[in-house]
Amino acid sequence: MLRYAPGDTLAHRLDPRTKLTAQAAFVTVAFAHTTPVGLLALTAVALGLLALAGLGPRVALGEVRGVVPFLLVGPVVEAARFGPPWLVPADAVAPALASYRTVLLLLLAVAYVRTTPVRDSEAAVARLVPGRPGRLAAIGVGLVFRFLPLLQADVARARTAMRARLGTERPVAERVRLVATAGLGHALGRADALALALRARCVSWNPTPPPLEFGRADAAGLAFSAGLLAWGLLP
């Protein structure tokens, strides 16, 4: 489940602002160096960051497995033609590299979510963006991080219930419709309950955030981010 998991890894001990800076630097490099060599180097960096978070690539990839089929279809669609030669492999190279780059970014996002408490993420965003816009952005971040695992659990329960009722014997289109309908119904119900809870608790624009403090590990993390950013800005 894509949510925070307590731990004592180096990534857990880093300030969330350090991790957000590293993500921004990684994104800059990913869009600046789109060649196979550049993406291969980024793969090594991503695997190293996953190791610092105590995550294996298989586990992290399993958290975003729902997106992978769409990333695989993109290059095939780009290479397909409605007439001879029907398929142009060269046209699939650029989309395939873009899809692979997206996978690397998703793996880094998984590492961040698994090692950062939601309240720390809210506090980091609120401090990086001053005033009410920052508080509004922090509320949005907190809602996404808290709401998404619930939606994933609802869809998983719907699939389990369908399998228990021999739903796997139905056509694929009908199975997709049943799971999507159940997931949408749960999402709307949770959204209504969330709106009521927010009104009942009088959401504050000036809450008491958790303490955030840079340490020695953060200094090394910021230096690493600066190096990544310099690599991304170099031709």
What pLDDT, in 10s, does the model give residues 190-213? 778 877 776 776 666 566 778 888
pLDDT at 41: 92
Nearest residue to 104 (alpha-carbon basis) of 54, 29, 52? 29
SS3 for the chain is CCCCCCCCCHHHHCCHHHHHHHHHHHHHHHHHCCCHHHHHHHHHHHHHHHHHCCCCHHHHHHHCCCCHHHHHHHHHHHHECCCCCCECHHHHHHHHHHHHHHHHHHHHHHHHHHHCCHHHHHHHHHHHCCHHHHHHHHHHHHHHHHHHHHHHHHHHHHHHHHHHCCHHHCCHHHHHHHHHHHHHHHHHHHHHHHHHHHHHCCCCCCCCCCCCCCCHHHHHHHHHHHHHHHHHHCC
Asked if residues 121 and 141 have their Cβ atoms less than 8 Å apart, the reply is yes
C-alpha–C-alpha distance, residues 107 and 44, integer Å? 12
What is this structure's pTM? 0.77
pLDDT at 206: 61
Neighbour tally for 146: CB within 10 Å: 13
Say if residue 28's pLDDT is above 80: yes
Tokens 């907190």 sit at which residue? 142
Q: Which residue has the higher pLDDT, 228 or 154?
A: 228
Say if residue 43's pLDDT is above 90: yes
Asked if residues 128 and 81 have their Cβ atoms less than 8 Å apart, the reply is no
By percentage, how much of the chain surpasses pLDDT 90?
A: 27
Domain assignments of the chain as residue spans, ordered by start:
10-205+219-233
C-alpha–C-alpha distance, residues 32 and 219, integer Å? 25
